[in-house]
């Protein structure tokens, strides 16, 4: 069986890059990833992007970025799956190398939120929901998440500050991530006094929209340069699943079936069980999403996911590190780049390059990227080989 390894990683700082264009952001991450790989030359480019046609008035990103990066002539396409676009692009790169038809695949996730401001951003984000039944009613993603969270709190008697631990964990970890948008830990008092955005979501329950790009170079072991110096990390499992686009069409709105399905398939491919996962990078665009993912994947029983973060640290039979570099909440929600950022951060953990946030002895990391409220979920298991 072909082993797909991550040969190179690159990322930009996440934030408001008013003076940097979409192609420039992508190139910065690509340049670093190719250099990190020892100069491998990709034959395919997969671009994860969520909203460039709406926010940047630019489609056809595959060719745009291949041209700007000096890679004309290679296969170059854009992959879109809302917030899961980066994870979906990573899966396409993985499948290309796994098939044997591509020796080296380049995956880049990029998003430029600051090309528009105000209502234009909300309108663009609304295109990822069901236009006929949700967006047309004026329902925003934050409003939808607030309704989910309110229902969850009612069903399971969650106190007002019951989700605070997710924000505290993210910001504590983000403080040591040089690429994170927010690099300062917060206290419980800060969370409880935060401005309400959409009751019961306050500003610390919502990841900030941000610009950024991240890239990985995928290949096989036998293609690696002879002087390749990094500890090897392979993609041991990859899976995706889909659910209804409209939330109201589901049997149970408070259970993310796709998170369970894709994680289960990815772990089965990797030949591991849940207890062997050393850290979990969830898609904490909203605090409620983090709790529901923990439950669906199996780290907590239904209705108890919030309790894993109740003391400000994600705990399971001792401790399961999550959002190890700040997650979406502290790193920032870079739209279609999110899943690739997760891969870069997980690879750094497994290489032993996570600095102050390094998890000692980590061998397996599970990363999970979501489009909407788990309408699309893409899961990958990364394994350290050294």
- List the domain boundaries for the chain: 5-117+209-223, 129-208+235-384
Closest listed residue to residue 5, CA positions, set 358, 353, 350: 350
Q: Which two tokens stand for residue 255?
A: 């259970």
d(CA 111, CA 351): 26
DSSP state of 137: G
d(CA 300, CA 207): 23
For residue 309, pLDDT beyond 70: yes
What pLDDT digit, counting tens, does each position of 354-375 carry?
Answer: 999 999 999 999 999 999 999 9
d(CA 177, CA 171): 10
Return the beta strands (E) in the chain as ranges.
5-11, 44-48, 75-79, 104-111, 196-198, 201-202, 212-219, 233-242, 279-281, 364-371, 376-384
What pLDDT digit, counting tens, does each position of 91-144 carry?
Answer: 999 999 999 999 999 999 999 999 999 889 999 999 999 999 998 898 999 999
d(CA 205, CA 329): 8
d(CA 71, CA 43): 9
CB 339 within 8 A of CB 88: yes
Q: Give the list of residues 6+ apart from residue 146 with CB closer than 8 angstroms, or none.
A: 197, 198, 199, 200, 201
Domains 5-117+209-223 and 129-208+235-384 share a fold: yes
Q: Give the list of residues 6+ apart from residue 131 with CB closer than 8 angstroms, or none.
A: none
DSSP string, 195-214: PEEETTEEGGGBPPB-BEEE
For residue 313, pLDDT beyond 90: no
What pLDDT digit, counting tens, does each position of 25-57 carry?
Answer: 999 999 999 999 999 999 999 999 999 999 999
Instruction: Give the model's pLDDT for residue 27.
Output: 98
Q: Which two tokens stand for residue 318?
A: 């001792």
d(CA 310, CA 314): 8
CB 152 within 8 A of CB 296: no
Instruction: Indicate left, alpha or beta for 278 from its phi (over 0: left) and psi (-120 to 50: alpha).
Output: alpha
Q: Tell me the average pLDDT of the chain.
A: 95
Instruction: Encode 259-273 in three state secondary structure.
Output: HHHHHHHHHHHHCCC
Q: What percent of the chain has pLDDT over 70?
A: 97
Instruction: Give the model's pLDDT for residue 88.
Output: 98
The fold for domain 129-208+235-384 equals Peroxisomal Thiolase; Chain A, domain 1 (3.40.47)
pLDDT level of residue 315 (50, 70, 90 thresholds): very low
Instruction: Give the model's pLDDT for residue 180.
Output: 98
Q: Model-level pTM greater than 0.85?
A: yes
Closest listed residue to residue 328, CA positions, set 170, 128, 113: 170
pLDDT level of residue 319 (50, 70, 90 thresholds): low
Interstrand relation of 44-48 and 75-79 (parallel, antiparallel or unpaired): parallel
Taking the domain 5-117+209-223, which CATH number applies? 3.40.47.10
């Amino acid at each position: 069986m072909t082993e797909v390894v991550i040969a190179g990683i690159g990322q930009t700082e996440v934030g408001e890059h008013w003076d940097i264009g979409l192609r420039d952001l992508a190139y910065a991450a690509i340049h670093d990833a190719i250099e990190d790989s020892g100069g491998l030359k990709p034959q395919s480019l997969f671009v994860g992007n969520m909203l460039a046609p709406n926010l940047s008035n630019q489609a056809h990103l595959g060719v745009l970025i291949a041209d700007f990066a000096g890679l004309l002539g290679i296969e170059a396409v854009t992959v879109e799956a809302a917030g899961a676009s980066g994870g979906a692009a990573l899966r396409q790169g993985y499948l290309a190398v796994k098939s044997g038809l591509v020796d080296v695949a380049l995956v880049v996730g990029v998003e430029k939120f600051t090309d528009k401001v105000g209502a234009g951003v909300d309108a663009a984000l609304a295109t990822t929901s069901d236009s006929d039944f949700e967006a047309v009613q004026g329902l925003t993603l934050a409003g939808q998440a607030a309704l989910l969270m309110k229902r969850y709190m009612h069903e399971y008697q969650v106190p007002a500050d019951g989700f605070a631990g997710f924000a505290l964990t993210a910001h504590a970890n983000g403080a040591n991530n040089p690429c994170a948008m927010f690099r300062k830990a917060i206290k419980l008092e800060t969370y409880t006094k935060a401005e309400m955005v959409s009751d019961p979501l306050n500003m610390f329950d919502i990841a900030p929209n941000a610009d950024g790009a991240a890239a990985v170079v995928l290949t096989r072991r036998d293609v690696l340069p002879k002087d390749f110096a990094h500890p090897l990390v392979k993609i041991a499992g990859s899976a995706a699943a889909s659910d209804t686009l409209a939330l109201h069409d589901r049997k149970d709105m408070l259970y993310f079936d796709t998170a369970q399905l894709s994680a289960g398939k990815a772990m089965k491919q990797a030949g591991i069980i849940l207890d062997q996962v050393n850290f979990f990078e969830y898609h904490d665009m909203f605090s409620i999403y983090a709790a529901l993912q923990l439950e669906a994947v199996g780290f907590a029983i239904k209705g108890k996911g919030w309790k894993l973060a109740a003391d400000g640290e994600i705990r399971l039979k001792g401790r399961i590190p999550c959002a190890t570099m700040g997650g979406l909440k502290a790193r920032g929600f870079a739209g279609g780049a999110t899943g690739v950022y997760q891969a870069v951060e997980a690879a750094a953990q497994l290489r032993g390059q996570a600095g102050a946030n390094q998890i000692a002895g980590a061998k397996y990391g599970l990363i999970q990227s979501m489009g909407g409220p788990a309408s699309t979920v893409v899961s990958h298991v990364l394994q350290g080989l050294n």
